[in-house]
Structures are given as C-alpha cells and as structure tokens.
Amino acid sequence: MEKKIKPSNGIDFNKCLHIIYGSRTGNSKSAAQLAEKYANHLGLDTCLLDMKTMNVSIMANIKNLLLVVSTHGEGDPPAVAQKFYNYLHHTHKASLNKLKFSVLALGDSSYKDYCKTGKDFEKQLKELGAQSIFPLVECDVDYEKNAKEWIEMAVNTFSNLLRPTKKAQDKLFSFNFHSNSTDEDTFQVIVKDKYLLTHPDSDKKTFHISLSSENLKLSYLPGDSIGIPCHNSRFLVDKLLKQLKYDGTYSIGEKGRIRLLKQVLIEDLELTLITPLVIKKYAELIKNDKLEQLISNQTELEQYCERHDILDLVTDFPSQLNHEQFLSILRPLKPRLYSVASSCLKYPNEVHLTLRLMKYSLHKRQYIGVSSSFLSDRIDSGESMPIYLEENISFRLPENKDTPIIMIGNGTGIAPYRAFLQERDHCQAKGDNWLIFGERSFKSNYLYKEEILDFKERGILTRLDTAFSQDQKDKIYVQDKIIEYGHDIYDWLINRKAVIYLCGSKRTMAKGVRESLLGIFCKEGQLSIQEANDLINELKMKKQWQEDVY
C-alpha cells in the first residue's frame, strides 16, 4: 500500500489537488484561482501555489497536479516562473511516476512559439515519469472559453479519481473569472507632445510621444511598457464590409447590448494581425481546396500570416459566410505594448514613448498598423487617451549602481535605453554605460541623436558605438559591431560582470546579435559551442543577460 505523506501543515498529498501557476499579467493566475474554486466546490482539498514563491522541492511529494502557465519573450516562461522551470527541466532528476497531472497553456497564436512553456512542462513531466490524465489545452488571447472547458474537465477527472471526502456544494457553479482585466488598471493620459525623430524625407517614420497625467498610477520603472488599447481604422473596416458584402448597420448582440456590426469590427476584433489559428478556423468553415493546401504547409502558413491581414484572407479565399460565422473566426483586438522611454525620476507625471509607424505597401495595397497609426495619425497633442502600465521585472537596471551595463539595440529598441540613461544620470550611478545602436542612416534615422551625444559628452555614456546600415556600400549592423568589439564585450561581461541588454527587432536584430555573442564567447573564452551556450544560459539565470525583443 502506498505510504501516506502527512507533513506538519496537514496536507495529505495523496488526496490534495495542487494547482501551480506561472503568470506575468495575471491570466494564468485567474485561471488557476478559478480551478481551485471549482475543485473546492466539488469538495476537493486544494493547495494553490505560485511558481514565483513556491518551494520547488515540494514537487517530489505532489501526487495530483494542475499546472497553469503562460509563455512570454520568444517562447520563454514568464520571468517569475523561470526558477521553477529550470528546477523541473535541469535539477529535478528523481522519477515523478506517482504524479498525475494536466496542463493549461496560455499564449498568443500570433507568436511562433505558441504556448511553448506549457508544452515544455507537459513534455518534461512525462519524461520524468508523470502521467497526464487530461490532455493539455492551449488558450489564445481570448483564453477564458478554453480555460473554462479545461478547468471543468480536468477538475472533474481529478474529482472522480480522488473521491472527495467533503460534500460537493449543491448549487450550480458559475465559471466566472476573477477580473484581472486591463479595464481596471487603465487610466487617462494627455498627449503632451509628439514629434518626428526621423528625417521628414525618410520612409521609415519614428515619433517621440510624451504622455502626461497627474494620476499616481503613473509610476513605472525603466524596462516597463505601456499598454495602449486601440481601434481599427474605419477605412479598413469599410473595405472589409464591402468585400464581404455585409451591411455595417446590421445589429449584433442581445437586447440591451445591441451594437452595429461596423462598430464591433472597429472596436473589438483583430483585423490587421492574422494567425494560423484564425486561418484554420476560417478554412473549416469555407472548405476551399487552395486554403486547405496553404494550411497543410506550416512554413507557408506562417509566411502568409506575416504578410497578410483579414481583408487579404477574405479576398484571396472568398466565402459566403454569414456575419456570425465570420465573427466567430476573429480574435479580440488586443492592446499594443510600447517600452517606456523616460525615467519617472526625471519626468514625474510623464511617460515617453518611441513609436515606429508600421506603414508599408505590398500586394498592390497599403498596410497600416492599427495602433501605431492611431498614435501617429489619429490622436493629437492635447487629446486624452487610455493607457495601462505593464511591469517587466525581467528587463531591469542592476540594483548595484556601480555595475557596468552594455545596451544593444536597433530602431525603437533605443527606447528603454533612453530611460536607463536618464535614470542612471539622475541617480548619479557610477557604473559604466555602453550603448551599441543600429539604424538605417546617420542623417535620417539617428533617434535621439542630440540627447545621446549629450550623454556621451557628459560622460554618462562611457562608450557609444553606432551601426548605420545604409551609410556605406556594404551593410553594417549591430551584430557586425559586436564581432568587431568582441574582446571588449567579453571583458566587460566576464571580468567586469556587466549586464548585457538586447532590445528591438526580433526578426532582424536579436537573432544576429545572439549569434555574434555566441561566436565571441567561443573565440575569447576558447569555448565549444555547447560551453558558450551554457555560458549564455548561466548569464541569463544570473540576470546578467536580459532581452526585450518584439
């Protein structure tokens, strides 16, 4: 017979359902809390644990587990879950063959590594011998529906297995999530100032935007981001309605909450960002051979998503869907994030942003980013708008003000570094600051040139290196500069224990910079690729390597 483990706090691990969550913005926490409520409703004993604070060694004793976790960065665990993730993936070696579990994986299907952390956990738990008793469920940004289904089914499965000792409650359980909605945290700011940072002739337009508020909520740290709720352009919605032959004045919803179709498309649903999941849902409804062919090839499907929007989808693969069917494939319109580009210490009651307007021509039409066009074209100085703060504890200045830092970025990746430099200047931090910044051309795209040169002149910036790709025959990018200064970078990192930061474009910069740094570690440290990769992981663990790429 199996031995009962009863620690001093009275938990009977054989009977208790443990619910462990890892969450950055609160969605996984809400789902885990609801799972606990439902399990208690059924009479189960539960123990809710946060990956951030839990004692990881308890895993050896847990027998029944619901694990709820989101994915962040580029397929990474949320920073608060990193310790638990590493423990389970690298430290815990003993078999978990007494453990029964199920995973709820939260994510966003517009990311390539959709729900990766949840999938990693499921795989690793299985490898350690644990038994999945209910299959992993993926949740997109509108996570509530899938999460509710998973909670009901997974908790019921455990309830049948554990046969609760307490009596289940008679009244019907209502699956209502505790609101962690951004609505509560959203507050109004005034657009104080907005101006172009790039040359007026440059086809790449980047703006400086300062927002002001007397609201006490406007207290942030460099590294944080601002979330901006946005609306689709009427122009795009009109074109979509025309293509679909829908009447925009058609009423949607129930009595008391009736809205026009056009209003719903403008305010609620994602039209410019398209994901493989959306296309698959559409394909299921329209049964089109060409579309089936596209979804059968994952690479082509991802490429289609990168270069097309909903209007393209319904134009390339026409259908006769009714309004309800069409709306059912769309995802909710999510706010966009922008790194804070200022220090609260230097600008109390203000927050600054560095915004690149997404506007480009392709397939004989023009594409305009929903949020960046709202900020650059549709809102003026003096007007008010809602924002919320998004904390990012994994992109932070070192607590020790003497620690040197290396800031690597391209384009709007300069934003958090402006905030870092303002903060370090204000605090009279003694640590050296090195900026390696890349853009297209010195003349047109040197963002915050005067300020940066002033930081350099005043010695706040100890070292400044730039890579303007189009200013010479052979293109030069930050990753090339990094190779050139490899010896110094290695010295700063390894001997002087500097913190290295990467911010900016995921597609163009981050990949190249990581490869360059790997090469430097191999060369300067005389390490094999495996050892250099281990070093990078070690630096990440020690928070000496931090990334915020998008």
Pinpoint the alpha helices (H) of 318-373. Answer: 323-329, 370-373
State yes or no: residue 107 binds ligand FMN (CB under 6 A).
Answer: yes
Among 78, 413, 438, 504, binds ligand FMN (CB under 6 A): 78
Please give the Cα distance from 477 to 482 (Å, whole number): 9
Q: At its nearest, how many Å lie between ligand FAD and the CB of residue 339? A: 4
State yes or no: residue 106 binds ligand FMN (CB under 6 A).
Answer: yes
Among 70, 444, 479, 505, binds ligand FMN (CB under 6 A): 70
Please give the Cα distance from 290 to 547 (Å, whole number): 39
Look at residue 106 and give the partner it binds from ligand FAD, ligand FMN, none, a contact being a CB closer than 5 to 8 Å depending on partner kind.
ligand FMN
Contact between 388 and 182 (Cβ < 8 Å): yes
Stretch of 4-12, 118-126, 351-359, 480-488 lying at the interface with ligand FAD (CB under 6 A) = 351-359
Look at residue 71 and give the partner it binds from ligand FAD, ligand FMN, none, a contact being a CB closer than 5 to 8 Å depending on partner kind.
ligand FMN
State yes or no: residue 337 binds ligand FAD (CB under 6 A).
Answer: yes
Q: At its nearest, how many Å lie between ligand FAD and the CB of residue 331? A: 12
Among 13, 18, 20, 28, binds ligand FMN (CB under 6 A): 28
Residues 6+ apart with CB under 8 A from 240: 265, 271, 310, 311, 314
3-class SS shares of the chain: helix, strand, coil, % to 5 = 40, 20, 40
State yes or no: residue 505 binds ligand FAD (CB under 6 A).
Answer: no
Any bridge partners for residue 134, and if so which?
Answer: 102
Stretch of 68-76, 215-223, 439-447, 526-534 lying at the interface with ligand FMN (CB under 6 A) = 68-76
Given the complex with ligand FMN, which of 439 and 547 has the nearer CB atom?
547
In the block, residue with structure tokens 């994994």: 394
State yes or no: residue 355 binds ligand FAD (CB under 6 A).
Answer: yes
Given the complex with ligand FAD, which of 247 and 306 has the nearer CB atom?
306
Given the complex with ligand FAD, which of 206 and 479 has the nearer CB atom?
206
Contact between 48 and 32 (Cβ < 8 Å): yes
Q: Cα separations (Å) of 20 from 47, 65, 368?
A: 8, 7, 41
Total residues contacting ligand FMN (rule CB under 6 A)? 24
How, if at all, do strands 499-504 and 463-468 pair? unpaired
Stretch of 17-25, 208-216, 281-289, 361-369 lying at the interface with ligand FMN (CB under 6 A) = 17-25
Please give the Cα distance from 93 to 99 (Å, whole number): 14
Q: At its nearest, how many Å lie between ligand FAD and the CB of residue 92? A: 31
Terminal Cα distance for the chain, rounded: 53
Any bridge partners for residue 348, and if so which?
Answer: none
Given the complex with ligand FMN, which of 74 and 391 has the nearer CB atom?
74
How, if at all, do strands 251-252 and 499-504 pair? unpaired
Q: What is the DSSP string of 447-504?
A: TTHHHHHHHHHTTSSSEEEEEEGGGSSS---HHHHHHHTHHHHHIIIIIS--EEEEEE
State yes or no: residue 108 binds ligand FMN (CB under 6 A).
Answer: yes
Given the complex with ligand FMN, which of 118 and 438 has the nearer CB atom?
118
Comparing every residue's Cβ against ligand FAD, the nearest one is 369
Q: Cα separations (Å) of 410 from 199, 354, 478, 515?
A: 17, 12, 8, 16
Residues 115-134 that bind ligand FMN (CB under 6 A): 115-116
Interface positions with ligand FMN (CB under 6 A): 23-28, 70-75, 78, 106-108, 111, 113-116, 141, 143, 337
Interface positions with ligand FAD (CB under 6 A): 225, 272-273, 306-307, 336-339, 354-356, 358, 360, 362, 369-372, 412, 415, 548, 550
